[in-house]
Amino acid sequence: MAFVVCYLLAFAFFNYAEAQQLQSNISRGSALTPTTNSSWLSRSGMYAFGFYKQGNGFAVGIVVAAVPQKTVVWTADRDGGLVSDNATLFFTSDGIALQSTKGRSLVVQSPMPISSASMLDSGNFVLYNASREIVWQSFQYPTDTLLPTQPLLAGKEVRSAKSETDHSSGIFRLAMQVDGNLVQYPVDTPPVSQYAYYASLPYLAGSNVSLNFGVDGRLYLLNDTGENLMNITNGGLPIRGKSHLVRIDADGILRLYSYDLKQKGNWSIIWESSTNRCDPKGICGVNSYCVTMGAAIDCKCLPGFESVNPGNQTSGCERNSSVGDVCRSKNWNCNYTMQELGSTAWYDEPYVVLPSSGKEDCKQACLEDLNCLAAVFNGSRCRKQRLPLRYGRREEDTSHVIFLKEVVMSSAAPAPDAVVPKGSRKNGRIVFLIVGVSFTALGSILLVISVIVLWKHNVWAYKRMNELNGDAERNEDVVPRPYAYEELEKMTTNFNEEVGRGASGTVYKGVIENSQKLVAVKRLEKVAAEGDKEFQTEMRIIGRTHHRNLVRLLGYCLDGPKKLLVYEYMSNGSLADILFTPERKPYWEERMGIARNIARGFLYLHEECDTQIIHCDIKPQNILMDEYMCPKISDFGLAKLLQPEQTRTTTGIRGTKGYVAPEWHRKMPITVKADVYSFGIVLLEILCCRRNVDWSLPHDEAILDELVYHYFESGELRKLVGDENIDRKQLEKVVKVGLLCIQDEPSLRPSMKKVLLMLEGIVEIPVPPSPNSFLNTI
Ligand SMILES: *[C@@H]1O[C@H](CO)[C@@H](O)[C@H](O)[C@H]1NC(C)=O
Ligand SMILES: *[C@@H]1O[C@H](CO)[C@@H](O)[C@H](O)[C@H]1NC(C)=O
Ligand SMILES: *[C@@H]1O[C@H](CO)[C@@H](O)[C@H](O)[C@H]1NC(C)=O
Ligand SMILES: *[C@@H]1O[C@H](CO)[C@@H](O)[C@H](O)[C@H]1NC(C)=O
Ligand SMILES: *[C@@H]1O[C@H](CO)[C@@H](O)[C@H](O)[C@H]1NC(C)=O
Ligand SMILES: *[C@@H]1O[C@H](CO)[C@@H](O)[C@H](O)[C@H]1NC(C)=O
Ligand SMILES: *[C@@H]1O[C@H](CO)[C@@H](O)[C@H](O)[C@H]1NC(C)=O
Ligand SMILES: *[C@@H]1O[C@H](CO)[C@@H](O)[C@H](O)[C@H]1NC(C)=O
Ligand SMILES: *[C@@H]1O[C@H](CO)[C@@H](O)[C@H](O)[C@H]1NC(C)=O
Ligand SMILES: *[C@@H]1O[C@H](CO)[C@@H](O)[C@H](O)[C@H]1NC(C)=O
Ligand SMILES: *[C@@H]1O[C@H](CO)[C@@H](O)[C@H](O)[C@H]1NC(C)=O
Ligand SMILES: *[C@@H]1O[C@H](CO)[C@@H](O)[C@H](O)[C@H]1NC(C)=O
């Protein structure tokens, strides 16, 4: 039997070798087909470029020709699909072209005309121009494998294959980050530590660090000046008769392999980034946790959940019954219980972390919070989570406990203002399975009613409801959500529709494909060189703010230096557009409504949200109008992230000229009162529908705040509003509030809360002194 196997292997190898051209100098006119001349060998026959077999088709790439397994080390256009055996590969002056039933495409595209190519003995496939200069090389575009002498340069990454036999893109990546760290993450996650499952260095090591792979199997990091920062593997492996490669495997682990060319056999593992196969985050799908079983792993569903696609670990699990979700979305009266699961650790992002509390308190806190579907207690902290849960694994010796909210029993009678707080209402049809109701008279009546409801709608929509609620859950899921740069490119069709431009960046219109929801994508320019972590923290703070007068941040993208934000789209432009366009000018009452709403937004930012947020750049351009002409404040929370000069005008001052509080000039500490000042200026602009500074007017009218105080003193306020018929008292009220807000001395300005009460006419408004009287007296 063994003989037969050997014979077959040898025969296969022989056949394969015959189908190759021993040609390391490939020139124009050369062609390959999967069946006859299938590849170009390197001089020693170690590597081959050309067709290799995958499943029932063929792909184009580089294989280790000298090993019987024909190990694939590189693939051209790895996600381009397979071709059948009548495809042809041509060497053209533009690169390597593939002709197949799908048409003709360049699988290797050269940046300039080429005249020859070579499969080198290092495993590097290179293209030369007429002066024999290398103009393209496969070593610069690694897929999942690195070969000795092949570096992974700063900013580049390799991505795992889908499986051992399918070389298209999988779900893990190894990134040589520009911060000098070599890190492994699941794909489609931002490069921040919470998603990382392997990192080379705990510190930053400069901006141009590369991963290098010595011929003796040593993996090491070099910095810009060629200094060895650290050895990841020791190297010192025998070179003669051996072949080495390092690969991020389909299971997410980076491994260094060695192959004995004389003994044949299998590749042996010399080193791996992790010995626990549950380490790679995302190896198990959502709502499941990873359990090691010897050398293999298993993904187990959370209690009450079942696998979406048994046999596919990454497909995850979903709740078997959506009764709980129905209670939630229909605002029905349901009782909940918490199911407990110990010995598992969860690394997903919570939406709230409660400070130290006991296990029981944690359970109770989640039970009382409608948004909380699970709580993880780690021995000291309580993390409230939404679903789905990710990155779970069994850890026998952990003190982590997870609680999952479940419905015990429900009554079919809707309770409009039940103990359960209002959840998101859905318009799905109601079909309800009554669980555990005994057949008392009442129970029977309820059952009859339910049956009638079922009959009327004529839909047994149990499954459908499940889906509906699944959607609702996903929509509620972690906002703001991280986006990949490519996703945003697609959403905005390559950033082709610019809808605004400001100091912090340019805004583009986009659309979320599956919901057709419009979004505004802001590309931040010159974000301060603070760490990604800080950026993330800020995003989370912004993401936690919810108020009807704030523009909602839906997501963000962190892709090296590229930082983008995704906001809900505001269809009516900015307050500046409507105030300063005579045809769009709103009536007095509408304007006052707008002013009060803006004040409400700032009151929330200053006093009501978790973390106090000072806006620092309030102006009509930053206040957007939704479809109902309700104002929403945008760009809050960005002040901390931008480089100082970005928000400074030519006068070297943060914020926008004309709206800036005087304390900026005096280098005094900045408080929420700086925002109150800017709000005061905006209020005067809303009042008069003109810009605060307008040099096209006569000199003594150019500065609005000075003009307003002048007319206030002289009792000629009516001059401010032209022929608009406005109640004198109303006008005076708003002018007084505006003048109080723009006092030079911050402590003389009212708080935003006071401002709102004054605008609503609830409290008396004192007579404002001259805005700069305080300065004049000292
Ligand atoms: C490779 O082929 C090109 C074109 O046929 C020829 O000009 C060149 O000299 C060859 N180089 C080597 C090293 O054989
Ligand atoms: C394979 O390539 C060689 C050299 O280019 C050529 O002479 C030969 O005819 C090719 N064989 C087939 C079957 O196309
Ligand atoms: C190539 O093969 C595919 C499937 O094997 C077949 O459908 C197609 O017609 C073939 N094309 C040519 C040009 O022979
Ligand atoms: C070949 O490439 C090198 C380096 O890019 C360039 O300097 C040279 O001019 C190119 N030669 C030709 C003939 O294009
Ligand atoms: C980074 O270092 C590599 C060699 O280590 C060098 O080729 C490259 O030019 C450097 N890049 C920058 C931007 O300094
Ligand atoms: C490279 O590393 C060495 C040693 O750690 C250090 O002295 C040098 O400044 C680093 N070079 C750069 C450009 O960071
Ligand atoms: C890495 O290994 C090489 C060879 O064993 C050794 O010379 C060098 O000092 C090591 N470098 C570091 C930073 O450990
Ligand atoms: C090589 O691996 C295969 C399966 O992975 C195994 O069946 C075989 O015994 C191994 N051969 C050697 C020589 O280790
Ligand atoms: C497993 O499920 C995931 C997510 O649903 C999917 O992307 C992937 O293609 C599936 N894998 C296989 C081998 O079917
Ligand atoms: C899930 O529901 C099915 C019926 O829809 C039931 O047969 C199965 O036992 C349930 N599984 C669990 C884990 O509750
Ligand atoms: C539901 O909760 C209420 C209030 O705590 C309790 O009176 C009632 O007995 C509970 N019903 C069930 C079936 O547990
Ligand atoms: C629990 O988590 C907090 C931070 O989330 C951490 O500081 C603390 O050490 C953890 N406690 C345990 C026992 O793991």
> Is residue 328 left, alpha or beta, with left meaning phi > 0 and alpha meaning psi from -120 to 50?
alpha
Token reading at 31: 């062609």
Specify if 46 maps to a domain.
yes
Ligand that lies nearest to the alpha carbon of residue 132, given by its number in the listed order:
4
pLDDT at site 456 = 31
Whole-model pTM over 0.75 = no
- Give the residue, by CA position, lying nearest to ligand 11 atom 1: 335
More confident residue, 426 or 304: 304
Token reading at 576: 């500046």
User: Looking at the structure, do residues 452 and 520 belong to the same domain, yes or no?
Assistant: no
pLDDT at site 699 = 83
11, 69, 58, 14: which is closest to 32 by C-alpha? Answer: 58
**How far does the centroid of ligand 7 lie from the alpha carbon of residue 231, in Å?**
6
Specify if 546 maps to a domain.
yes
Distance CA 716, CA 742 (A): 20
pLDDT at site 644 = 43
Distance CA 268, CA 244 (A): 10
More confident residue, 526 or 600: 600
Helix (H, G, I), strand (E, B) or coil at 440: coil
Write out the binding residues: 522
Ligand that lies nearest to the alpha carbon of residue 304, given by its number in the listed order:
10
pLDDT at site 581 = 87
Ligand 11, CB cutoff 6 Å, lining residues:
335, 408-409
Q: Is-contact 765 737, C-beta < 8 A?
A: yes
pLDDT at site 443 = 37
pLDDT digits (tens, 9 = 90+) for 275-301: 999 999 999 999 999 999 888 899 999
pLDDT band at 777 (very low <50, low <70, confident <90, very high): very low
Helix or strand holding residue 460 (H, E): none
Distance CA 73, CA 143 (A): 8
Ligand that lies nearest to the alpha carbon of residue 383, given by its number in the listed order:
12
Specify if 294 maps to a domain.
no
Within 350-432, strands assigned E span 352-354, 374-377, 382-385, 392-394, 401-414
The verdict on the CB of residue 496 being under 6 Å from ligand 3 is no
- Lowest mean pLDDT segment, chosen from 154-158, 249-253, 431-435, 517-521: 431-435
- Give the residue, by CA position, lying nearest to ligand 3 atom 14: 86
The verdict on the CB of residue 130 being under 6 Å from ligand 1 is no
Ligand 9, CB cutoff 6 Å, lining residues:
309, 312, 314-315
Token reading at 330: 């229909």
pLDDT at site 539 = 82
**What's the CATH number where 173 sits?**
2.90.10.10
Is the backbone peptide bond immediately before 388 cis, with ω within 30 degrees of 0? yes
The verdict on the CB of residue 193 being under 6 Å from ligand 5 is no
Specify if 312 maps to a domain.
yes
**What's the CATH number where 731 sits?**
1.10.510.10
Specify if 349 maps to a domain.
yes
Residues in the chain: 778
Atom of ligand 1 nearest to the CA of 118: 1
pLDDT at site 477 = 43
The verdict on the CB of residue 228 being under 6 Å from ligand 7 is yes
Atom of ligand 6 nearest to the CA of 223: 1
Q: Is 476's pLDDT higher than 70?
A: no
37, 41, 31: which is closest to 119 by C-alpha? Answer: 41
- Give the residue, by CA position, lying nearest to ligand 5 atom 1: 208
**How far does the centroid of ligand 7 lie from the alpha carbon of residue 154, in Å?**
21
Distance CA 504, CA 563 (A): 11
pLDDT at site 537 = 78
**How far does the centroid of ligand 11 lie from the alpha carbon of residue 424, in Å?**
23
pLDDT digits (tens, 9 = 90+) for 597-654: 999 999 999 988 877 888 888 999 989 998 888 899 998 877 766 544 333 333 334 4
Cβ neighbours of 244 (radius 10 Å): 23
Atom of ligand 9 nearest to the CA of 308: 5
Residues noted as catalytic: 617
Q: What are phi and psi of 485, to 5 degrees?
A: -60, -40
Write out the binding residues for ATP: 522
The verdict on the CB of residue 35 being under 6 Å from ligand 3 is no
pLDDT at site 410 = 46
Tally of domains within the chain: 4
Q: Is 513's pLDDT higher than 50?
A: yes
pLDDT digits (tens, 9 = 90+) for 452-468: 333 333 322 222 323 33
Structural domain range at position 83: 20-272
User: Looking at the structure, do residues 427 and 519 belong to the same domain, yes or no?
Assistant: no
The residues near 36 (Cβ < 8 Å, ≥ 6 apart) are: 19
User: Looking at the structure, do residues 564 and 588 belong to the same domain, yes or no?
Assistant: no
- Lowest mean pLDDT segment, chosen from 296-300, 539-543, 666-670: 666-670
More confident residue, 471 or 762: 762
Q: Which of 425, 440, 463 is the last residue of a domain?
A: 463
User: Looking at the structure, do residues 125 and 172 belong to the same domain, yes or no?
Assistant: yes
Q: Probe ligand 5: pick from 137, 224, 229, max atoms within 8 Å of CB? A: 224
pLDDT digits (tens, 9 = 90+) for 88-139: 999 999 999 999 998 899 999 999 999 999 999 999 999 999 999 999 999 9
Give mean pLDDT, residues 267-275: 94
Distance CA 680, CA 750 (A): 10
Distance CA 664, CA 649 (A): 12
**How far does the centroid of ligand 3 lie from the alpha carbon of residue 105, in Å?**
17
Token reading at 649: 């005008």
**How far does the centroid of ligand 7 lie from the alpha carbon of residue 239, in Å?**
18
User: Looking at the structure, do residues 448 and 485 belong to the same domain, yes or no?
Assistant: no
Q: Which of 568, 589, 610 is the last residue of a domain?
A: 568
Q: What are phi and psi of 689, to 5 degrees?
A: 50, 40
588-603 vs 728-741: helix axis angle to the nearest 10?
A: 30
User: Looking at the structure, do residues 682 and 589 belong to the same domain, yes or no?
Assistant: yes
Strand 288-293 to strand 268-272: parallel, antiparallel, or no bridges (unpaired)?
Answer: unpaired
pLDDT digits (tens, 9 = 90+) for 396-411: 877 788 888 877 654 4
User: Looking at the structure, do residues 514 and 545 belong to the same domain, yes or no?
Assistant: yes
User: Looking at the structure, do residues 751 and 655 belong to the same domain, yes or no?
Assistant: yes
Specify if 367 maps to a domain.
yes
Give mean pLDDT, residues 193-197: 87
Q: Is-contact 279 268, C-beta < 8 A?
A: no
389, 340, 385, 390: which is closest to 360 by C-alpha? Answer: 340
- Give the residue, by CA position, lying nearest to ligand 1 atom 13: 25
User: Looking at the structure, do residues 513 and 628 belong to the same domain, yes or no?
Assistant: no
**How far does the centroid of ligand 5 lie from the alpha carbon of residue 208, in Å?**
6
Token reading at 288: 């499941």
Q: Is-contact 678 601, C-beta < 8 A?
A: no
Q: Is-contact 62 73, C-beta < 8 A?
A: yes
Query: Residue 583, Cα to own-chain centre: how many angstroms?
Result: 40
The residues near 569 (Cβ < 8 Å, ≥ 6 apart) are: 509, 517, 518, 519, 520
Distance CA 210, CA 176 (A): 7
The residues near 399 (Cβ < 8 Å, ≥ 6 apart) are: 378, 379
Q: 70-86 burial by CB neighbour count: b if 16+ within 10 A, else e?
A: bbbbbbbbbebebbeee
Beta bridge partners of 247: 145, 255
Q: Which of 417, 436, 463 is the last residue of a domain?
A: 463
Q: Probe ligand 3: pick from 84, 98, 99, 100, max atoms within 8 Å of CB? A: 84
pLDDT digits (tens, 9 = 90+) for 347-406: 777 777 887 678 888 888 888 876 788 899 888 888 888 778 889 999 887 778 888 887
pLDDT at site 628 = 80
Specify if 11 maps to a domain.
no
Ligand 4, CB cutoff 6 Å, lining residues:
129-131, 133, 135
**How far does the centroid of ligand 11 lie from the alpha carbon of residue 470, in Å?**
27
User: Looking at the structure, do residues 176 and 237 belong to the same domain, yes or no?
Assistant: yes
> Is residue 63 left, alpha or beta, with left meaning phi > 0 and alpha meaning psi from -120 to 50?
beta
Query: Residue 342, Cα to own-chain centre: how many angstroms?
Result: 30
The verdict on the CB of residue 424 being under 6 Å from ligand 7 is no
Distance CA 36, CA 470 (A): 52
Ligand that lies nearest to the alpha carbon of residue 463, given by its number in the listed order:
10
User: Looking at the structure, do residues 410 and 500 belong to the same domain, yes or no?
Assistant: no
Specify if 3 maps to a domain.
no
- Give the residue, by CA position, lying nearest to ligand 8 atom 2: 266
User: Looking at the structure, do residues 83 and 179 belong to the same domain, yes or no?
Assistant: yes
